[in-house]
Amino acid sequence: MTIGFRFKARAQRAAGVIVGLIGALLTPTLWASTSQPTLDQTLANGLRVLVYENRRAPTALHMVWVKAGSIDESSGATGLAHVLEHMMFKGTKTLAPGEFSRRIAALGGRENAFTAKDYTGYFQQVHRDSLREVMRLEAQRQRFLKIDEAEFKKEIQVVMEERRLRTDDNPSSLAHEMLVSQAFQASPVRNPIIGWMNDLENLTIHDVRQWYSTWYAPNNLILVVAGDVKAQEVLAWAKEFYGSMKARPLPTRKPQSEPEQNGVRRVALKAPAQNAFLMLAYKAPTLRESLGPLGVTHAASRDLVALDVLSTLLDDPGTGRLTKRLVQQERSAISVGAGSEGISRGPGLFYIDVTASPGVTLPSLEAKVKQEIARIAKDGVDEQELTRVKRQAKASQVFRQDSAFSLAMEAARLLLAGRTLADSDAWLTVLEDIRSDDLKRVAARYFIDDQLTALEFEPLPLDGSAKRGKAPSAFGASTGTRH
């Protein structure tokens, strides 16, 4: 799942994809300011180690992040990052298939993994006294994974079934996949994280082994530990278990820049479901290395933050402009959603999704959405609306700082995107300075047909085997794995 700064709860249902605890994990926001870690050190082999000490509970969170996701895959081999994530649970030189998870469970812990456009992540949460053993176990599979032919043949079938259930049989996921693949032409962000079915059918064990040997190198990893731990002790264990890993040259990541879009792109989709829905995707900036430093005088920074503010103004459940007009007043829509993708190494989109009420046409809903955005572009917003959004941001910051998951995930995602940890506080500083003119500017600049890809979903009759259609959630997604 590509995840935005202000990623909403409903985005957890996007494109097939987040399961159980992962759903809770993948919802951090840059409005939850990332405090500086207790320790931030890079080992001789290139492994970066972050430690956040927190004495509130006797637990420890251990996360390993690999800077390799679906954006790094090549044509004909999509889904590789996610398949390898599955294989990471299928044994090492010293652990039998499934034994990793059984040992974590025996320690009273919980664990899982997730794949996104930009990265693959693995985590365990255990009692603080079990942290050393968890680090030892994770280091084993990061170094000595056994990719067995028989296990691969079984697991690729699992992944294909996952795709059938969470994408092919899910109208909102299928629509999101089609929308993104039409919005981008050259960038690999157009490919689904879980992979195209034909690619999955033709992946080989050689492909998976090659992916592991290419990207799972210490100089391509970030280790984050948070909780009731001692930073220097964690550093010593990191050196003990990860320090002997050998750094390797990494492939040159080609930019694969997206050509300029010169006209609206429209697609239509039909599938068994209950409701018609509309998805609009506008090209929008992401927080990546090329954006430059965040600051109140930096135009690109202001655009990025203003777009995030705009999404709240459009779809806040109580006061959002689209919510009030379409859902509460006119009752022409069952639900609305809006949001941008936030931190990413690749190009991004600003999504607006609207589920139509019975008898309401999708072109009429699109016209109303554009009317509301045009009003913002012309008149801006009043100070009361801006104040409300800023207060929500500050409240979110306080709550998120209580979460080790949020702190660890945000820190890793910033670093993986070529950013710095200071971006969290810089984001808040820019937010405080956002004015009505900023919202007018971004509404006029980004919400134009030359940057729009629109999808209309027409529901077909449900039969006994069809799954119920869900209101769409048009936000990029990560693929979580429950083992």
Report pLDDT digits (tens) over 328-354: 999 999 999 999 888 999 999 999 999
269 and 405 within one domain: yes
Q: Which amino acid would we find at residue 332?
A: S
Q: 408, 229 in Cβ contact below 8 A?
A: no
Domain assignment of residue 251, yes or no: no
Mean pLDDT throughout 366-380? 97
335 has which bridge partners? Answer: 355
Task: Look at residues 173, 208, 242 and tell me which one is the last residue of a structural domain.
Answer: 242
Antiparallel, parallel or unpaired: β 48-53 and 221-227? parallel
With cut-offs at 50, 70 and 90, classify the pLDDT of residue 481: low
Domain final position from 242, 273, 293: 242
**Residue 2, domain member (yes or no):** no
Q: Which residues of 330-342 are buried (b: 16+ CB within 10 A; e: fewer)?
A: eebbbbbbbbbbb
379 within domain boundaries: yes
List CB contacts of 299: < 8 A, sequence separation 6 or more: none
Tracing tokens 């047909």 back to the chain, one arrives at 449
Angstrom distance (rounded) from CA 380 to CA 306: 12
Q: How many residues appear in the chain?
A: 483
Per-residue pLDDT reduced to its tens digit, 37-82 = 999 999 999 999 999 999 989 999 999 999 999 999 999 999 999 9
CA dist., res. 214 & res. 73, Å (int): 12
Co-location of 140 and 236 in the same domain: yes
CB 410 within 8 A of CB 42: no
- List active site positions: 85
Q: What is the CATH number of the domain that holds 178?
A: 3.30.830.10
How much is the pLDDT for 359?
96
- Confirm whether 415 is domain-assigned: yes
- The Cα-based distances of 450 to 83, 175, 261, 263, 374 in angstroms read 36, 21, 6, 4, 15
Shared domain for 378 and 430, answered yes or no, is yes
In a domain, 318, yes or no: yes
Gyration radius (Cα) of the chain, Å:
22
276 & 395 share domain:
yes
Q: Taking a C-beta distance cutoff of 8 angstroms, is the pair 138, 122 a contact?
A: yes
Give the global pTM: 0.89
Looking at residue 35, what is its pLDDT?
A: 66
Structure tokens of 146? Answer: 């056994």
Tokens of residue 60, six digits: 């420890």
**Residue 152 pLDDT greater than 70, yes or no:** yes
CA distance 203 to 427: 41
CA distance 226 to 410: 12
Q: In Å, how far are 64, 106, 171, 466 from 271, measured between CA atoms? A: 38, 44, 6, 9
3-state secondary structure 307-372: HHHHHHHHHCCCCCHHHHHHHHHCCCEEEEEEEECCECCCCEEEEEEEEECCCCCHHHHHHHHHHH
| 169 plus 284 within the same structural domain | no
User: Does 223 lie in the same domain as 183?
Assistant: yes
194 backbone dihedrals φ, ψ, rounded to 5°: -75, -15
226 lies in a domain? yes
Q: Check whether residue 276 and residue 417 sit in a common domain.
A: yes
119, part of any domain: yes
Tens digits of per-residue pLDDT, 112-140? 999 999 999 999 999 999 999 999 999 99
In this structure, the answer to whether residues 270 and 227 fall within a common structural domain is no
Three-class DSSP category at 30: coil
Residue 11: the pLDDT is: 35
Between CA 302 and CA 309 the distance in angstroms is 10
Average pLDDT, stretch 259-275?
95
Task: Provide, rounded to the nearest whole percent, the portion of the chain with pLDDT above 70.
Answer: 87
**Which of 438, 313, 440 has its CA nearest to residue 384?**
313
Condensed to tens digits (0 to 9), the pLDDT of residues 255-265 reads 888 999 999 99
Q: What confidence score (pLDDT) does residue 255 get?
A: 80
Domain around 172: 9-242
Domain identity same for 40 and 106 = yes
430 in the same domain as 355:
yes
pLDDT of residue 390: 74
Q: Are residues 224 and 277 in the same domain?
A: no
The single-letter DSSP state of residue 95 is S
What is the tally of structural domains in the chain?
A: 2
Question: Which among 10-24, 196-210, 298-312 has the top mean pLDDT?
Answer: 196-210
Q: Residue 91 in contact with residue 151, Cβ under 8 Å?
A: yes
pLDDT of res. 479: 60
